[in-house]
Amino acid sequence: MKFSKLFRLQRFWAFVAAIAFTLTLPSVLTACNPQASNATGAGDNQIVISVLSDPKTFNPALSAESPSIFGLTYEGLVSENPVTGETEPRLAESWEFSEDQLSLTFTLRDNLQWSDGEPLTVDDVVFSYNQIYLNEKIPTNSRDGLRVGVAGTLPTVEKVGDRQVKFTITEPFAPFLNNTALEILPEHVLRESVEQTDSEGNPLFLGTWGVSTPPQDLVSSGPYQLINYAVGQRLIFQPNPYYWQTPKPYVDQIVWQIVPNTDTTLLQFRSGDLDVTGVSPDYFSLLKREEDRGKFTIYNGGEAYGTSFISFNLNTGKRDGKPLVDPIKSKWFNNL
């Protein structure tokens, strides 16, 4: 699927710095948002983005829907560069496969910290995988991505040094490196909720970090941290002061405006209330004509991960002696 990106020219480079951490949208528009600036106290150095709905959880392990905040607030050992497709180090500074390709050892960056200032260590990595992602009592959809081979065996994860963690698999599996991009979670905050259970034997973790959790109670590792959430209105993110990368993110504030209607989103962009939003095929021609006057540019972002589905009616039955599907079309759809 091809997609376009539309940016207000004067905000383009600031947006580029922020969009690497945000959701990839099929199309994007950007504009100065004075209302959001006044409401949040931010100056000119902010990006205002529209999302269609409220997040469903603030717990990365339990997330199965979009939008999610985790591209901004959490990191894994590695990530995939959205432009080149190359695997890049994040919390890990390097990795090495064994000669038989059955073990993968990561070395973490030195002096990593959580957003509360606590050290982020190999113990957090081992905890995240063994106690959460590989824990059968926690229904995370991430677990299947860690399975290897026809048998679908899961890896073993163990600490092998102060900064080293080793993953061992049962057979060589090329995609496994990218599958270790799962968000690392803080053991010092979440261990108790994983170990304690409710009256039905379910870990309390299943109810931890829901969307009613105050943002100041969330502990993250990514470039930004959530500082405000107004249900049905907006989410506001500011840079994580303990983020490992230097220089720190130079976009002072990212605002997600919740706009459940795509037509309203377009109106808000054209009135200058949004910095970025999607360009659907329906609006492409209109917006293309307005590029110069509106001081924005449409960018073709290339292929995206989105999918479109087409279904065919294969019903060969009849009703009152009349075919349910035109016989000519039925022949098309039933002939491989």
pLDDT for 217? 96
Alpha-carbon span 9 to 15, nearest angstrom: 10
Banded model confidence at residue 10, pLDDT cuts 50, 70, 90: very low
**C-alpha to C-alpha distances, 121 to 15, 72, 118, 187, 266, nearest whole angstrom:** 31, 20, 9, 9, 44
Query: pLDDT: is 11 or 118 the higher one?
Result: 118
Alpha-carbon span 156 to 160, nearest angstrom: 12
pLDDT digits (tens, 9 = 90+) for 282-322: 888 888 888 888 888 887 777 766 667 788 888 999 999 99
pLDDT digits (tens, 9 = 90+) for 258-293: 999 888 998 888 888 898 877 878 888 888 888 888
Alpha-carbon span 234 to 63, nearest angstrom: 19
Specify the CATH number of the domain 78-194: 3.90.76.10
Alpha-carbon span 164 to 173, nearest angstrom: 21
Side chain identity, residue 210: G
SS3 247: coil
Start-to-end Cα distance in the chain = 25
User: CB count, 10 Å around CB of 280?
Assistant: 16
Residue 119, preceding bond cis, omega within 30 degrees? Answer: no
Residue 26 has pLDDT above 50, yes or no: no
Determine the distance from the C-alpha atom of residue 320 to the mean position of all C-alpha atoms in its chain, rounded to a whole number. Answer: 51
The contacts of residue 77 (CB under 8 Å, 6+ apart) are 89, 90, 91, 92, 95, 106, 108, 125, 180, 181, 184
pLDDT for 17? 32
% of the chain surpassing 90 pLDDT: 61
Specify the CATH number of the domain 2-52+223-302: 3.40.190.10
What's the mean pLDDT when you consider all of the chain? 85
Residue 231 has pLDDT above 60, yes or no: yes
CA neighbor of 109 nearest in space, from 87, 86, 85, 125: 125
Domain ranges of the chain: 2-52+223-302, 78-194, 306-336
Least confident window among 55-59, 124-128, 274-278 = 274-278
Residue 247, preceding bond cis, omega within 30 degrees? Answer: yes
Alpha-carbon span 297 to 286, nearest angstrom: 13
pLDDT for 305? 65
SS3 186: coil
pLDDT digits (tens, 9 = 90+) for 187-221: 999 999 999 999 999 999 999 999 999 999 999 99
Place of tokens 């995988």: 129
- Whether 178 and 80 have beta carbons less than 8 Å apart is answered as yes
> How many alpha carbons fall within 13 Å on the CB side of residue 52?
10
